[in-house]
Amino acid sequence: SRRRRRRNCASPSSLRMLGSLELEERGRDVELWGDRVIVAAGQKILVVDASLPEALTVDRLVDAGGIVLDLDVVESSAFFLTPGGIGKADLQDTSASPEEFFCLLPTTTGEWGIVEAGVTGCPDGPAKWYLDMEWRKFPAGFIEVEGGKVFVGLWRNFIVLEIGPTGYEVTGAIGLDDKIDGMKVEGDYAYLNLKHDGAPVIDLTDPDQPSIAGFHNVACWVDGIYVDSMRLYRKDGVRIEIAVIE
């Protein structure tokens, strides 16, 4: 079954547990930043000290203002996606607030806009536009940052944004027939897994005009796993784990 394949993808048998940390809310993603593990859990981004894997401790909490669906760490910044838009947290800062947050807003023509959140949040309240969608109880989204571009998989939309000196600009988008259930960007292509078995390959040769180039046959992308120096950092429900690869 699809569920069994995914579990096998995420559970290698040749691992020895070094440490774990119980989370108060569901962990959705984990990234590595030096000897820190950056965790998306509920509406928070956790900066976890992993210098001693047997004694993991939370250094800092960042309040994202919405469920953190996914994150991507680039240098000292954690880019994150919520149902309302895109934020960025400075990992070298000690503030409990993100450095910036921009609201993603769909238009009636199927295009997307992006505006900086005001002091009261996004227009008409945070993420109001998605509340009538099927996924409101089980939201999912994906974000990857590469080459000055931000790639977002949100509901049935694949969106490309350019990072500018004062914010973001939506440069391209493509609508799909099914919910995006997984996303991986490699080079000039984005590989998507859709909820009901579709698996399109998006051509990013011209990232301003993404298009479907074909389909792949990878059953699942391992979500929430980061490997570095023979150690594996994994989010598993309400816990993050560190194991050594033997």
Mean pLDDT of the residues in the chain: 82
Q: CA 72, CA 227: separation in Å to the nearest integer?
A: 14
Amino acid at 134: E
What pLDDT is stored for residue 3 in this prediction? 35
What pLDDT is stored for residue 168 in this prediction? 95
CA 98 to chain centre: 16
Bigger pLDDT: 246 vs 214? 214
What pLDDT is stored for residue 198 in this prediction? 81
Dump pLDDT digits (tens) for 113-160. Answer: 899 987 667 765 444 445 545 555 556 799 999 999 999 998 889 999
The answer to whether 117 and 128 are in contact (CB under 8 A) is no
Q: How many residues are there in the chain?
A: 246
Return all residues near 124 (Cβ < 8 A) that are at least 6 apart. none
Position 1 pLDDT exceeds 60: no
Q: What percent of the chain has pLDDT over 70?
A: 76
Bigger pLDDT: 15 vs 198? 198
Instruction: Provide the H-helix boundaries in 17-163.
Output: none
Instruction: Provide the pLDDT confidence category of residue 36 given band limits of 50, 70 and 90.
Output: very high
Q: Determine the 3-state secondary structure of 7 from DSSP.
A: helix
Phi, psi of 54 (to 5 degrees): -75, -10
